[in-house]
């Protein structure tokens, strides 16, 4: 009998030991994989039952906050400014996740970063929820100006501080109301289905996640590469006055707008946006290797390091076979062919010229504070790429100022302010003609640009080089004026 009891006791001890070992193995070694398992919603349910920090504009307007909920979760995410910042904040949904800043700063808003943990270590025994509050670089009044100036025309408006990379306006129309997609229950699924079915694709933040033909705004890149290589100077070469550029191996020609003859030295052809001259500059003066390298120094063929999910890479072709002649590079040099760009990228092109050739990493985060208002993290500006030398930037800056003073971008001028710009009209090949109207530029006190912009208005009637200056320039001007006003510089 004693033998049987001992055996039973030993068997129970083995079972308890195995159970203890398995429990510890699961809790210690398997905890993270199990928490991250796709079918495990426990972590998500837990996060939706806790408050998140606020998102606020640079002028203190609340864009996102947690409010009490009376359903299966304790809290509901609320977006008081709706579609004005929909593409910036993104939405926060239990079933289909989060986007925008809600996704990019998820850990910070949930109060689960090392900085917030360290800041609250002395309050371990205080009964309060630990969250992080995010302050961004955009002011509400500047964003409202961008929305009002663009109106109900599909397009995008981007403004950045060329010295720091801070995003100052980030608007794309159409937008959407993130409240509808952040609701608990079936209504959010219905709202999402309706928005996804819309041909206008309002869920897509086109200012940084969709690319378009940049048209003649890309000539700033071509001119910059030409000057940087030493093959183009303000006075040389002098391009012949022609109505079109002759394309090899074909009867086709790359026409100037309206077939108008144009030519001359760098500043002359920049003022009138001369296709034949810039096609020759890229294809014959500069050449493919230098054009590819130069475009990539501006950030093409790379994703800009903005603190938002999945930015699109702008594209410049890298392969120009000899048997295709000069046509592909000629077209690419004037922003046609296989060149595509986001509005954000073209704003950064203007910023490079305004900032002595350096492009700073674009960003929306200004600072993160804890729930007591103590700053736990601030954004430190950082360089993304050196596109051109300061000397080259000074030359192109002078040329872009000339485009505003006496060229295609006169509508961009602001009295008492130094303004440079470049228009663009990206023809869509439709009948009747339609085009994307572009403008890029910068503004500020002489030698001290405070804002760089890109505006793109989709599918405008007509296809003349004046389209960008007529349609996009007044929008960019209004935004730059508002930025300078808020900075005390206009």
Residue 289 lies in a domain: yes
Distance separating alpha carbons of residues 471 and 153, to the nearest angstrom: 10
Residue 386 lies in a domain: yes
Q: What is the DSSP letter of 26?
A: I
Residue 227 lies in a domain: yes
Beta-carbon contacts of residue 465 (< 8 Å; ≥ 6 apart): 216, 257, 272, 273, 408, 423, 425
The secondary structure of 264-278, three-state, reads: ECHHHHHHHCCHHHH
Closest CA to 55 of 177, 121, 137: 137
Closest CA to 101 of 112, 91, 116, 115: 91
Rg, the chain, Cα only: 28
457 in Cβ contact with 475 (< 8 Å):
yes
HSE, CB side, 13 Å, CA atoms: give it for residue 32. 2
Residue 208 lies in a domain: no
Residue 342 lies in a domain: yes
pLDDT per residue rounded down to tens, the chain (490 residues) = 567 777 766 766 777 676 666 656 555 556 556 555 654 445 555 666 688 999 999 999 999 999 988 777 788 999 999 999 999 999 999 888 999 999 999 999 999 877 776 655 555 555 557 899 999 999 999 999 999 999 999 999 999 999 999 999 999 999 999 999 999 888 999 999 999 999 999 999 999 999 999 999 999 999 999 999 999 999 999 999 999 999 887 777 889 988 899 999 999 999 999 999 999 999 999 999 999 999 999 999 999 999 999 999 999 999 998 878 899 999 999 999 999 999 999 999 999 999 999 999 999 999 999 988 999 999 999 999 999 999 999 999 999 999 999 999 999 999 999 999 999 988 877 778 888 999 999 999 999 999 999 999 998 887 666 678 899 999 999 999 999 999 986 5
Q: In sequence order, what DSSP letters do the residues of 37-56 get, joined into one string? A: -TT--HHHHHHHTS----EE
CATH classification of the domain holding 470: 3.40.710.10
Give the structural domain span for 264: 215-363+382-486
State pTM to two decimals.
Answer: 0.89
> Domain count of the chain?
1
Beta-carbon contacts of residue 151 (< 8 Å; ≥ 6 apart): 173
What is the set of active-site residues? Answer: 216
Distance separating alpha carbons of residues 218 and 154, to the nearest angstrom: 21
Residue 63 lies in a domain: no
Residue 297 lies in a domain: yes
Pairing of strands 55-56, 132-136: parallel
* Alpha carbon of residue 414 to chain centroid: 25
Residue 201 lies in a domain: no
End-to-end CA distance of the chain: 99
């Amino acid at each position: 009998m004693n033998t049987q009891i001992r055996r039973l006791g030993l068997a129970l001890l083995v079972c308890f030991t195995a159970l203890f070992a398995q429990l510890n193995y699961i809790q210690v070694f398997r905890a993270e994989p199990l928490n991250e398992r796709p079918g495990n919603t426990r972590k998500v349910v837990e996060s939706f039952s806790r408050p998140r920090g606020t998102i606020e504009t640079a002028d203190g307007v609340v864009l996102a906050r947690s409010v009490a909920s009376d359903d299966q979760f304790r809290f509901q995410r609320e977006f008081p400014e709706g579609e004005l910042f929909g593409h910036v904040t993104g939405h926060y949904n239990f079933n289909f996740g989060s986007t925008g800043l809600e996704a990019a700063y998820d850990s910070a808003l949930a109060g689960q970063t090392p900085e917030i943990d360290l800041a609250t270590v002395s309050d371990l025994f205080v009964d309060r929820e630990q969250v992080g509050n995010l302050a961004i670089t955009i002011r509400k009044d500047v964003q409202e100006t961008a929305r009002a100036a663009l109106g109900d025309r599909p397009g995008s408006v981007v403004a950045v501080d060329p010295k720091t990379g801070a995003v100052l306006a980030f608007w794309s129309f159409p937008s959407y109301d993130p409240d509808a997609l952040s609701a608990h229950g079936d209504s959010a699924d219905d709202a999402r289905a309706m928005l996804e079915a819309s041909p206008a694709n309002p869920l897509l933040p086109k200012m940084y996640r969709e690319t378009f033909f940049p048209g003649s705004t890309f000539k700033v890149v071509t001119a910059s590469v030409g000057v940087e290589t030493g093959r183009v100077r303000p006075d040389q070469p002098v391009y012949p006055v022609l109505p079109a550029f002759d394309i090899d191996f074909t009867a086709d020609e790359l026409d100037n707008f309206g077939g108008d003859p144009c030519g001359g030295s760098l500043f002359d052809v920049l003022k009138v946006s001369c296709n034949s001259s810039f096609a020759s500059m890229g294809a014959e003066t500069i050449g493919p290797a230098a054009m590819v390298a130069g475009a990539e120094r501006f950030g093409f063929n790379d994703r800009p390091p903005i603190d938002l999910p999945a930015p699109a890479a702008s594209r410049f072709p890298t392969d120009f076979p000899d048997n295709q002649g000069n046509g592909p590079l000629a077209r690419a040099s004037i922003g046609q062919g296989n060149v595509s760009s986001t509005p954000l990228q073209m704003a950064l092109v203007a910023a490079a010229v305004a900032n002595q050739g350096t492009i700073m990493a674009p960003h929306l985060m200004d600072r993160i504070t804890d729930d007591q208002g103590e700053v736990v993290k601030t954004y430190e500006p950082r360089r993304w790429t050196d596109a051109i030398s300061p000397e080259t930037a000074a030359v192109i800056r002078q040329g872009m100022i000339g485009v505003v003073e006496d060229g295609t971008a006169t509508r961009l001028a602001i009295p008492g302010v130094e303004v440079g710009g470049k228009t663009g009209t990206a023809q869509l090949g439709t009948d009747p003609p339609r085009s994307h109207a572009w403008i890029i530029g910068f503004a500020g006190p002489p030698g001290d640009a405070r804002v760089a912009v890109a505006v793109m208005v989709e599918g405008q009637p007509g296809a003349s080089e004046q389209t960008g200056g007529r349609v996009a320039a007044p929008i960019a001007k209004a935004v730059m004026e508002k930025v300078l006003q808020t900075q005390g510089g206009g």
